[in-house]
Amino acid sequence: MNFKNLIFGVLTIVVMTVGIIFFVGKSQSTDATDANPADTSAEWSAPKDSRQETPQDISGKAAKVPQEPLAPLQTKDLTIGATKQVVEGSKVSFNIIVKLQDGRIVFDSYKDGRPWKGVIGDGSLLTGIDRGILGMFQGGKRALWIPSHLAYGPSGITPQVPPNAKLYAEVELLSVF
């Protein structure tokens, strides 16, 4: 092989590489300009080809599908208490009514005549209740909308709470120790 053929081969590889880089970069930048930059709620959508069961990347391997963000815990103070505030590690006593989205009552400490007790942050309470009580003042009432992952999750509690149930709770904070 002579020097001329070697140079021609190297130049051919360089030109092909530059062409591929340009084409891939151009197609990615075109896709980016088609998107609305103000739209931050872009979601993954299923592939248009119904024969594909999972989306694939350029190499044909299964692409990673973004996970749906977990719903946040939501709270609303109904009555503001006046004395001690709940902090991490506080021992608390409270009355609570817990309902499913359809309005069925799951737990009612008023009806049972026994307030719930626990220590904030030690795992003795549901995560959603634990986080929802933080910052309350003794004597206050708060509404909590608890997503499934902060309640009983995919297992639920048979028969009271179905799998993946979102809960609504009203908490009356009786005491903070």
CA–CA separation, 61 vs 53, rounded Å? 12
pLDDT in tens, 90-135: 999 999 999 999 999 999 999 999 999 999 999 999 999 999 999 9
Gyration radius (Cα) of the chain, Å = 28
The answer to whether 97 and 109 are in contact (CB under 8 A) is yes
> What is the predicted pLDDT for the residue at 25?
53
| Burial classification of residue 60, based on how many CB atoms lie within 10 Å of its CB (0-12 exposed, 13-18 middle, 19 or more buried) | exposed
User: With a threshold of 0.75, does the pTM exceed it?
Assistant: no
What percent of the chain has a predicted confidence (pLDDT) above 90? 58
Distance CA 40, CA 70 (A): 16
Percent of the chain that is helix, strand, coil (3-state, to 5): 25, 25, 50
